[in-house]
Structures are given as structure tokens and as C-alpha cells.
Amino acid sequence: MKEDDVIICRCEEITIEEIRSWIDRGYRHFDELKRILRVGMGPCQGRGCRDIILRELAKATGEPLDRIDPGTIRPPVKPIKLGLCAYGKEGTSK
């Protein structure tokens, strides 16, 4: 990591430079960046980085922010232990 790297996705440790370089390579949708970099797939589910990435996409494409698709937001909104789902019938891990 260079000294001037700016981490914008703390969950997956992705820098703004990485985001910009993938946008330059033609990744022009939040979900595309998510699939290649895992931004928005960590514990916070994009709460920290989504806004910043959408602004970068707006800058790169020249589109206003309201025209930038924020991507698909799926459940769960926060991490759930797999064990909880596995014990689904009783609904408890105890």
C-alpha cells in the first residue's frame, strides 16, 4: 500500500485508487465493482463506501448522482451467523 492510499471500504480494505482504476477499465455500475472488488459485501454492507463510490461513478460518467444506480440491496442488512440459519427451525443457537 502506498502512503497516499485512501481506504474507502474498510470492511474489504479497498482504496479509492482501486475504485478509480476499475472505473477507468469500464466498470460503470456499483454492482460490477461489487463483484470484482467485494465493496459493499463486508460486515457493513456498503454503509460506508456506497455513497463515495456512487460519487466517483457520477464524476467519471458525467451523469448527475440521481441517474447513478446504487445497485441491488439485499437482505441481510447485517451479518448473521450461519449457525443461526442452520438452527432455523428452533430459531436459536443455544
Partner 1 sequence: MKELNTDILVVGGGPAGLSAAAEAAGIGANVLIAEGDLHLGGQLVKQSHKFFGSKDEFAGTRGFEIARLLRDEIARCGDRVKTMLNTTITGYYPDENVVTAMIGEEEYIRVRPKKMVVASGAQERLIPFPNNDIPGVYGAGAVQTLMNVYGVVPGKKVLMIGAGNIGLIVSYQLMQAGVEVTAILEAMPRIGGYWVHAAKVRRLGVPILLRHSIGRALGDNFVTGALINELDEKFNPTGSPEHVECDTICLAVGLTPSNELLWQAGCKMKYVPFLCGHVPLRDKNMRTSNAGVWMAGDVCGIEEASAAMIEGRIAGMSAAASLGFKVSDDNFEKYRLRLKNLRAGEVGEKIRIGVSDVTVDGWEANS
Which residue ranges make up the site for partner 1 (CB under 8 A)?
3-8, 10, 16, 45, 47-48, 51-52, 65-66, 68, 70, 72-78, 80-81, 84-85, 87-94
> Please, is 9 exposed, middle or buried when counting C-beta atoms within 10 Å of its C-beta (0-12, 13-18, 19+)?
buried
If the CB atoms of residues 24 and 66 are measured against partner 1, the closer one turns out to be 66
If the CB atoms of residues 36 and 65 are measured against partner 1, the closer one turns out to be 65
Task: In angstroms, give the least distance from the CB of 46 to partner 1.
Answer: 9
From the CB of residue 11, how many other CB atoms can be counted at a distance below 10 Å? Answer: 19
Handedness of CA 56, 60, 64, 67 (dihedral sign): negative
Task: In angstroms, give the least distance from the CB of 35 to partner 1.
Answer: 18
Task: In angstroms, give the least distance from the CB of 42 to partner 1.
Answer: 13
CA distance 45 to 74: 9
